[in-house]
Amino acid sequence: MERIPPMEMAKKLARQLRRQRPDYRYLSKVFQYTRQLLEVTPDKRDKRLPQLLTEQELVVFYQAVFSAHNPTHVVMIKLLIFTGVRNGELAQIRLEDVDLDSLQIRIEQGKGSKDRYVPIPQSFRGELWQYLDNQLRKNATYLFESNRLLPYSTRRIRQIVKHYAQKANITKRVYPHLFRHQLITFLTKQGIITPKLQLLSGHSHEKNLAIYRDLALSDVANEYEQAMKAFPIQ
């Protein structure tokens, strides 16, 4: 029997699931149980390293966002960059989840159905306060809501990120989860130890962070090579 192409299968599933009016958490559980029932295990091959943005590309990307003068998009992108939250987690953040006094945001039922807190920088506090105040005046529930007072979909957030990447003329693939890779790699290079990274990122296992150590190491490869020329064993 010939396999149905992934997109066609996705369309078939979408027609069935649309009647259930699914949200992100519902879909996550459906596919989690589907993998269990089909006994599908993760691919054991090495993970492909994400192609990170350079510091200059990240600056150019943010400049494209800032120049559009859309406060919602600015706050959204900054939260992705500063906190490394997942796309689905970002979409579900409510106003009551933001604690400006403690400079942290509660992520309810993130990956693995676990609650956690992520920090935000002090420099972002004032801008986020202004945005929150505006959302409160609108009687919003979620941090990012559409004109229909519904939380932004993960698809919409991906579209926004892609739009600004194109506007910045960045040829690399730019997507919300990329900023998670960027942040964890940066923190790794700054010497943040693994247990703290697990707490910040919401990763359950240390092995999930190995990829970021590889990325950070690649940045010092040239310096390492020069140092090894003086190593006593050649």
Instruction: Report DSSP state, residue 209.
Output: G
Mapping DSSP to helix (H, G, I), strand (E, B) and coil, where does residue 106 land?
strand
Can you tell me the distance from the alpha carbon of 204 to that of 113, in angstroms, rounded to the nearest whole number?
11
Provide mean pLDDT across the span 144-159: 91
Tens of pLDDT, residues 82-134: 888 999 999 999 999 999 988 888 888 645 556 778 888 888 889 999 999 99
Tens of pLDDT, residues 178-205: 998 888 887 777 666 454 445 455 555 5
Q: Maximum Cα–Cα distance for the chain, whole Å?
A: 69
Mapping DSSP to helix (H, G, I), strand (E, B) and coil, where does residue 104 land?
strand
197 in Cβ contact with 187 (< 8 Å): yes
Provide mean pLDDT across the span 2-26: 83
Domains of the chain: 68-172 (1.10.443.10)
H/E element, 93: none
Tens of pLDDT, residues 160-175: 999 999 999 999 999 9
Among 9-18, 127-136, 206-215, top mean pLDDT goes to 127-136
pLDDT at 228: 42
Provide mean pLDDT across the span 60-74: 94
Which has more pLDDT, 142 or 51? 142
Residue 215: band (very low, low, confident or very high) from pLDDT cuts 50, 70, 90: low
Strand-pair partners of 94: 142
Can you tell me the distance from the alpha carbon of 163 to that of 169, in angstroms, rounded to the nearest whole number?
10
